[in-house]
Amino acid sequence: MTPAARLQATLDLLSDIDSAARPADAVVSAWVRSRRHIGDRDRGAIIELLQTLLRHHARLGWWLAKQGRDATPRDRLLAWLVLGEGRTPERIRRLFNGAKAAPAALTEREQAFLTRLRGCTIVHPAMPDEVRLECPAWAEAALRRRFGAAFEAEMAALLTPSPLDLRVNPIRSTREAVLGGLKDLGLRPEVSRLAPYGIRLNERLSLARLDGLRTGAIEIQDEGSQLVALLVDARPGERVADFCAGAGGKTLAIAAQMANKGRLVACDVSEGRLKRCAERVRRAGFQNTETRLLTSETDRWVKRQKGSFDRVLVDAPCSGTGTWRRNPDARWRSPEEHGLDGLVALQGRILASAARLVKPGGRLVYATCSMLAEENENRVAAFLSAHPGFRVVPPREAAPGLAAAVEGAYLSLTPARHDTDGFFAAVLQREDPAPAAEGENGPPPGA
């Protein structure tokens, strides 16, 4: 592809993302599947530029408003080429020339707009902090409370490109073998700092080159997510439930902990996500795992299985603030239809219902990919107040191998401190002699 054609492809993708209700990564995946003829280098360059534009959404919007321009995909790209890449209006005009597969030729107004931006950079002293740090209004106050003096450092870390983290499936391969195979491809893999089966790649590459994804020898999983799965501490032969399994990333990691023995039930309210989970389970070679479609968090299955699981993981739906460097568009989507308060209420209902599955002496692990105390520490405190039969198990006790990553009662990971996605996890052990009776703590969630 010519440089101009790459720019036009980026524009097309950005327009699709602006008009779609789906997250950007889903739009990009569909785009890649429909354009397999595009080479790895071209595809990588297009996606990298797209991600850059998404990471600079607020700052580009600020500059465009200052210049009296609308924040269209075309204007955002034009502004970035000057402000971010330092290109001159003359160089840009040669690319936006209206030729085949190239962007339409610049208008006189666009040329004047680019001339006014010449010599400027993406950050301006007059920018408000929330614009400069790309922090949406709905999350700023909560994140400032969470991080205090470290707020700017954490926001800056969320603006860096995320690495590609892999987790080795120990029933298919070893970390040493996978590292060797990646080196044979000319890549420079690194052993993860904390996750025992983790490998990190800081290079951009086509995933089609990673044969282990097809055979189930490796899975794509952020190191922080791998550490959350380790906190479950599932043992061979136990009964384990992944209550919000989604497409099964943590399910697969837990199945490996169990050495393919025992019973692992992956639950979710989305049939599509569970189908994807089942496909990944089969590819990875696990026979100890099954899927369970739930109608809601209070599905009748939960009542029938009350008190029968050694471990229950609740990877709760959340605002996703911890994933912003990986999914930069997510920060500009409201967390849920009913706002953060509605999301927190849903988390409470899910956690209370999943707790019924835990047997005496068993453990409930509550996790989010959020960095907001409202969804994390505050949610756990509210649960413990309503469920005195549970106690907190510090991560150092629940998973001694994570001692280097944790301080205090909970696992709390951030991009600035740990170079992972932002994750929170609490391990809660049931110590009362029997599960709470139905309705003991008020009407069932959703009633």
Per the annotation, binding residues are 268, 315
8 Å CB contact between 324 and 331: yes
Q: Which residues are catalytic?
A: 369
Alpha carbons within 13 A on the beta-carbon side of 346: 17
Extract the runs of DSSP E, i.e. beta strands, from 243-355. Answer: 263-268, 289-293, 309-315
Measured CA to CA, the distance from residue 124 to residue 134 in angstroms comes to 13
- CA-CA distance, 244 to 246, in Å (whole number)? 6
Contacts of 400 (CB under 8 A, 6+ apart): none
**Start-to-end CA span in the chain (Å):** 57
Residue numbers in the known binding site for S-adenosyl-L-methionine are 268, 315
Which 8-state DSSP code applies to residue 208? G
**CA distances for 120 relative to 20, 57, 85, 166, angstroms:** 32, 17, 11, 39
CA-to-CA separations, 13 to 6, 24, 78, 126, 386, in angstroms, rounded: 11, 9, 15, 31, 47
Provide the token pair at 187. Answer: 């890549």
